[in-house]
Amino acid sequence: MSRIVKIGVNAVPLGGDSPVVIQTMWKDRFCGADLEGEAGKATVERIERLSQMGCGLLRFTVPDNDAAETLGRLAGMVSMPLAADIHFDYQNALRCMDFPIAKIRINPGNIGGREKARAVLEKAAARGIPLRIGVNAGSLPQDLREKAFAGERAEAGASVIAEALVEAAERELALCDEFNFTHVVVSMKASGIADTIKANRILAAKTDAPLHIGVTEAGPLVIGTARSCAALAVLLAEGIGDTVRVSLSDSMENEVIAAREICGAAAEIAALAGQRQTADRLRRGGVTLISCPRCGRHRFDTHGFTSRWLSRLYALDRNLTVAVMGCEVNGPEEARHADIGITGSGDKVLIFRRGTVVRTVCAEEADAAFAEELALTG
């Protein structure tokens, strides 16, 4: 079991037997104007909605001092713990730590050497701010990069990349140990499923540092979710991983939803294997959404409805099963177990609870009627 590292002003526990923390990363360039007026209001509202959906940590890239100042201001405006992502210039990390930033992520392959890393560690220790050592296959230290890719060509296999990731992480952990810095989280990310699984299995057996897991550059929504699930569900079900990000070429909201579903799948796998403690760390309440794939019989636009309602449903703090079905064949009867559902019949839309139709409306009234019935469903 990993040791516990606490993040943010509310000291959210990460590691040990505490729940796995889901995180995502802000997708766009971020500047001071994003905090002003209506733009600022929209920024704060979106971050709070991400929190409601189950995101526990939000990361921002910090390429310069202005970005550090902006992120510092934002940290005082929202309840979500915010993390700063630092590459190349260690001084950006030092500036971020003048604000209530929850965590600093540095990349040892490009931060600039031992003394600069030491300066970051010493200030983090003084301010009580945890660090994530983020090792990426694409930015390994030069000697490990040459060794890994030479080995990959020679062996035509993925294991050498995983081993290089572990060695890079161990070097940074040794540096942390040298300076008595224990408030550290480690990630080793690659775009390969096998590399991701192997590297994290190896390091989990060697250290009690909490692990952040993810498949980097996983791809667009469907591809990236499938590839992330293949790697992360395996690790999480084995009890490996204390915080997770699903890195998609898609929205932050969909990253959070995908991570929630992967955690849920891993909880079922762990429970099946009798690993109750692991399953408990991964389970979370909220909406379970089921929907039919749609076919030529459909009388209701399941695709459009789920697209409009997905983020809103996942932000609900209620344990509900919601069914979105396309026609009478797979409507109320097939989804009889759902707390609330919606489907089509002829030119009408049916809303049902536990298989019993409670309301019939025209298509134009479907969203409003569903919202009203959802509010009454407990």
pLDDT, position 182:
94
**pLDDT given for residue 338 in this prediction:** 93
In the chain, the largest separation of any two C-alpha atoms, in whole Å, equals 71
For residue 253, pLDDT over 50 is answered with: yes
Q: Are residues 105 and 192 in the same domain?
A: yes
| Whole-number pLDDT of residue 153 | 52
Do both 82 and 103 map to the same domain? yes
Question: pLDDT tens digit string along 88-124?
Answer: 899 999 999 999 999 999 876 577 778 888 899 999 9
For residue 156, what pLDDT is reported?
Answer: 47
Q: What length is written for the chain?
A: 378
pLDDT of residue 112: 74
- Report the alpha-carbon distance of residue 238 to residue 256 in Å, rounded: 21
Domain co-membership, 56 together with 169: yes
All residues at 6 or more sequence positions from 245 whose CB lies less than 8 Å from its CB, including other chains: 22, 23, 24, 25, 59, 212, 214, 255, 259
- Are residues 171 and 310 both part of a single domain? no
pLDDT of residue 155: 53
Range scoring the smallest mean pLDDT among 61-70, 131-140, 210-219, 251-260: 131-140
Alpha-carbon distance of 274 to 256, in angstroms, equals 27
Flag whether pLDDT at 358 surpasses 90: yes
Question: Of the candidates 282, 316, 340, which is a domain's last residue?
Answer: 282
Per-residue pLDDT of 272-315, as tens digits, reads 999 999 999 998 889 999 998 888 877 788 899 999 999 999 99
Residues 27 and 139 in one domain: yes
Kindly state whether residues 223 and 322 are assigned to the same domain. no
Confidence of residue 327 (pLDDT cuts 50, 70, 90): confident
The pLDDT value recorded for residue 335 is: 84
The residue assigned the tokens 């030119």 is 347
Give me the CATH number covering residue 54.
3.20.20.20
Name the domain boundary from 255, 282, 309: 282
SS3 234: helix
Number of domains making up the chain: 2
Q: Is the dihedral of CA 68, 69, 70, 72 positive or negative?
A: positive
Q: What is the CATH number of the domain that holds 335?
A: 3.30.413.10
Q: Rounded mean pLDDT of 7-22? A: 94
Say if residue 231 is in the same domain as residue 309.
no
Do 190 and 210 lie in one domain? The reply is: yes
Dihedrals φ, ψ of 53, to 5°?
Answer: -75, -15
**278/164 same-domain check:** yes
Give residue for tokens 């970051």.
120
Which residue among 215, 250, 282 closes a domain?
282
pTM of the model: 0.92
**Contact by Cβ (8 Å): 307, 364:** no
Residues 209, 15: Cα–Cα separation, whole Å: 8
Nearest of 78, 110, 49, 65 to residue 251 by alpha carbon: 49
Q: What's residue 117's pLDDT? A: 85
Q: Is residue 241 within 8 Å of 20, Cβ to Cβ?
A: yes
Q: Give residue 189's pLDDT band: very low, low, confident or very high (50, 70, 90).
A: very high
Could you list the residue range(s) of the whole structural domain that residue 201 is in? Answer: 5-282
Query: Are residues 329 and 246 both part of a single domain?
Result: no
Arithmetic mean of pLDDT over the chain? 92
Q: Are residues 251 and 293 in the same domain?
A: no
Using one digit for the tens of pLDDT, what is the confidence trace for 128-183? 999 999 998 887 888 888 877 765 555 545 578 899 999 999 999 998 999 999 99
* Closest to 316 (Cα-Cα) out of 340, 286, 295: 286
Half-sphere exposure of 164 (CA within 13 A, CB side): 26
Write the pLDDT tens digit of every residue in 191-211. 999 999 999 999 999 999 999
Inter-axis angle of helices 302-314 and 252-272, to 10 degrees? 80
Within this chain, do residues 215 and 346 fall inside the same structural domain, yes or no? no
Residue 151 has a pLDDT of: 56
